[in-house]
A and B are shown apart, each in its own frame.
Chain A
Amino acid sequence: MRKGDVDVAALPTNLHCYVFQRSSGAAKELWARATPAAPTARASGLGARRPAAAGAGAGPVAAGPGPRGARGGLRRAQGALRRTPHALARRGRAPRSRALAFEGDAAAAVGAWRARGVPVVFLALVSATGAELAMLEDAASAPRAPKGGDAAAALEPRAAAKALKYLSKAVDKETASLDSKTFEKHWLVLVEARGARSAASGARCVFCKSGKDRTGMAVTLAAAMFVGEAATAPDDDEALMLDRASRHEPRRVRICEKNTGRKTTRSFHAEDLEPGSWVAKPKPAPAPAAPAPAPSDDGEAVAARSARWRNDAGRVRELLGADEVDMDALRSLAWNGVPGPRRSDVWRFLLGVLAPAAGDRAARLEDARAAYRAAVVAVLVDVPASERSAEDQQTLRQILVDAPRTCPGVPLFCHDRVQALIVNVLYAWAVAHPRSGYVQGMNDLLAVLLVVLVNNDVPWDGSDAQLLGRDASALSDAELDDVAADAYGMLTSLLGGLEDHYTHRQPGLQKTIEDVDGLLRRVDADLHKHLDDVGVLLLQVTFRWINCLLTRELPMKALIRLWDTCLAEPDGFSSFFPYVCAAFLCHFSETIRNMESEDVHLFLQTLPTADWGNDEIETLLSEAYILSTLFQNAPSHLQHEPDDISPFGPTWEEAG
């Protein structure tokens, strides 16, 4: 709604100003948290002067009767706020906004502020009918210098008009979708309103009736601004206080809990809330246990972790030594990370290359290896180039070109015999799987399997240099042959669940992107909206992640830890991987939301993950796991009203 569309006098009267609502006590709590070390003298000094205007009933009121403690806190807050413009002016900064204590109806508030010559810009109004309006008042159309003391807050008509233009655009954009089913609230309106209000030296006013999304956003914004502006002592860390306010503000937490069932959707917020609180209703864990909370970097955690690994390593020995390997138990253990030694054994069990029953394991393994060797001979060695179909020739040429482009520069892969191995495995696989054939990126997947196969003895916390520095010349031809055969078996099993990721039009990949899209809409709608705003498709964000199972995004060590878990899932990457991708994307949400299109693309190409290791991956997996418990059994939660935001953009449908 734009200026003039709303009759202020006709607004419903049951709207309450929340931020300084005198009975809530929230402001005091906030204030106390934001200034943990505020000296008493200063605090009481701030509260010495009472606000001048004290209308009866409606209109701006001073901190009124309420709990005694709350009143003291409110008085301090009031004082700080009243002082803020002057304090800021003294420090050479323009006052950004003002807040007035208020309780009553909207019309009276507007009237009262106007009477004081204060232009008004509403941030958010929730009407009695629940319809949401973002409304502009006469903030800058006829800017007036405020009467009274605030000379420092002189208006800048041009700045204000510009700010209003932006706000009006944001409102228009949102209003345009108001009547459609795709109406989405956007935080941009709030930010622009804040800018407009600030430019007009207007008053901040947040009414909160129902405590829903937009109002919650506005309340949080207002609360954080309140704290930020009240912080005038030179050693107050404003950023820290804003941060605290946004995390702790109790109304916000309640709103979030009401809407999502959780107290926060962000793990980094969760750490400030009481442990375990951010998943409101923990569901019974499925077979693989939830990962332990990410340990911090202190000595105790490191000790605890190495104890866990020692313990797990013993457990792995025990499991693998049994006559019949308990695959459920092995999956459950591997889900939390496979201890380095014997990782290749565990992966070979998870991928079906090693049979659970000890009795015929060796025979079956030898059969499979013999079958692979025969296949290579049949499709490569025994076929003269002239008898190869054009399609096969094309495939072979591509693989020959790509083999040296697999982890270029990494010693392990530079070796001629390893190069030949890569060509043989990929070509044999491609010929046996004509539906998809060889698709670039499969070589990256094979590289991971090879690293694990030749590094059975690298410790858990082995570095990338260790993992990738293995000298292939130390391996005998026979050993490399076995590695090739097992890698072929593992690749076949890995791609077995993912084949439609690579067939014509890549339907499996498309489905995964749709899942990530649904998740993102639910858990980080702001990021979803931002990507749309800057014209970045989710397809473009996640294509390489899904196509190469994050091999291009993570260092080898972190990648292998991630794959431990994904391979331990009952259906491998198929079901769990979308949650991983969603959690991975949300991890970078803040950064991305501050970027325009070009920077988003550049950022995604070189994510700051070079230093990632077990800790980062386990945090990521925890978040993915939580998402999966929230949404796995309720796929309908991921459905949404059709709108014009497609993760694929307009060209995908035409592809073919």
Chain B
Amino acid sequence: MGTRAPASAPHLFKYIIIGDTEVGKSSIMLMFTEQHFQQAHDMTIGVEFDSRSVQLSDGNQANLEIWDTAGQESYLSITRSYYRGTDCCLLVYDVTRRESFDHLPRWLNEAKQNASNPNLVLMLVGNKADLEGSRQISRAEGKAFADLHGMLFVELTAKNQNLVESVFVESAQRVLAVQRANPRAKSAAVKLQPESRAKKDDFDCGCG
């Protein structure tokens, strides 16, 4: 609802992180929202959610709602229900695994089809760049793919907090810039929230 908020209020941007399994989507989100790296963690079933706010360069504040999706193909149906109204999509691949890079066109297609947002900002993220020895995708190859599809591009490791931070700040700046250049496009995709002011002392009767 960033577009409806007055200028002084923080912007609200919706993010979705997609890509093959085990490329490090959850690790990137975890590093960004909780500032730590976890070697072993549950794999994501369906979708996980978290949020954090970032300071943009012009002094604006942006609240990022981040949806971290499961990468296995069986879960495409469920993850599709989360794209609606997305402002920014992070496409993550693993620079040490060719396959995860080869699947990018499919993921790109998913994002474009389901987000149905002409202002959608796409960012290509090559993760695990610290594992130079087992690298299969060169930086140049990643950059070329990003350029070809008009995406922002970064290589990083989810272990590096500063780099992870910069991904979100940089993409959020872009989202803001795109929305300012084309302010009306997003509103159709946003589901209006009710003007609910329900408080603790409200209750229902359980009749119906």
Contact = CB atoms under 8 A, between A and B. Distances in A.
B177 to A, nearest CB: 25
Contacts of B78: 506, 539-540, 543
Interface in A379-412: 398, 401-402, 404-405, 408-409
A537 B82 CA distance: 10
Contact of A655 (B46, B65, B77, B195): B77
B51 A598 contact: yes
Interface in B127-143: none
A651 B194 CA distance: 22
Nearest to B43: A405
27 contacts: A170-B194, A173-B194, A192-B197, A217-B207, A219-B205, A220-B205, A265-B206, A405-B42, A408-B40, A409-B40, A440-B70, A440-B74, A502-B74, A506-B78, A526-B208, A533-B193, A533-B194, A540-B81, A543-B45, A543-B46, A543-B47, A543-B78, A593-B198, A596-B193, A601-B49, A648-B81, A651-B84
B205 A539 contact: no
Interface string A91-117: 000000000000000000000000000
B80 A404 contact: no
B114 interface: yes
A40 interface: no
Contacts of A187: 202, 204
A224 B203 contact: yes
A2 interface: no
Given A405-B40, A593-B198, A655-B76, A217 B193 contact: no
B178 to A, nearest CB: 23
Contacts of A228: 201
Nearest to A238: B201
Nearest to A215: B207
A539 B81 contact: yes
Given A185-B208, A405-B42, A440-B74, A654 B80 contact: yes
Interface in A173-228: 173, 185, 187-188, 191-192, 195, 213, 216-217, 219-221, 224, 228
Nearest to B71: A440
B34 to A, nearest CB: 13
A269 B84 CA distance: 39
Given A220-B207, A246-B203, A544-B46, 6 more contacts: A185-B208, A195-B197, A213-B207, A404-B40, A598-B51, A652-B81
B48 interface: yes
Interface stretch (A251-259, A284-292, A329-337): A251-259
A545 to B, nearest CB: 10
Contacts of B82: 540
Interface in B14-52: 21-22, 40-43, 45-51
Contacts of B205: 216-217, 219-221, 246, 252, 255-256
Interface in B175-194: 191, 193-194
B111 to A, nearest CB: 13
B43 A402 contact: yes
Given A540-B82, A552-B45, A655-B80, A213 B208 contact: yes
B191 A535 contact: yes
A86 interface: no
B101 interface: no
Contacts of A547: 45-46
A544 B45 CA distance: 6
Contact of B193 (A220, A239, A552, A597): A597
Interface in A228-279: 228, 239, 242, 246, 252, 255-256, 259-260, 264-266, 269
A576 B137 CA distance: 49
Interface string B65-99: 10000101011111011111000000000000000
Chain B CB within 10 Å, residue with most, of A219, A525, A540, A552 = A540
Contacts, number: 147
Nearest to A651: B80
Contacts of A173: 194
A548 interface: yes
B200 interface: yes
Interface string A159-175: 00000001001100100
B109 interface: no
A634 B206 CA distance: 21
A594 B198 contact: yes
Size bin of chain A's contact surface: 35 or more
B42 A408 contact: yes
A534 interface: yes
Contact of A166 (B65, B76, B80, B197): B197
Contacts of B75: 440
Chain B CB within 10 Å, residue with most, of A524, A605, A655 = A655
A651 B196 contact: no
Given A404-B40, A649-B84, A526 B204 contact: yes
A295 interface: no
Contacts of B195: 166, 169-170
Contacts of B114: 651
A438 to B, nearest CB: 9
A649 B77 contact: no
Contacts of A441: 45
Contact of B196 (A266, A409, A444, A533): A533
A529 to B, nearest CB: 10
Contacts of A131: none
Given A169-B195, A441-B45, A506 B77 contact: yes
Given A187-B204, A217-B207, A440-B75, A651 B65 contact: no
Contacts of A169: 195
B47 A191 contact: no
A439 B72 contact: yes
A416 B42 CA distance: 18
A215 to B, nearest CB: 9
A540 B81 CA distance: 8
A401 B21 contact: yes
B208 A506 contact: no
A216 B40 contact: no
Contacts of A506: 74, 77-78
Chain A CB within 10 Å, residue with most, of B75, B83, B201, B207 = B207
A260 B43 CA distance: 42
Interface in A589-616: 593-594, 596-598, 601-602, 605
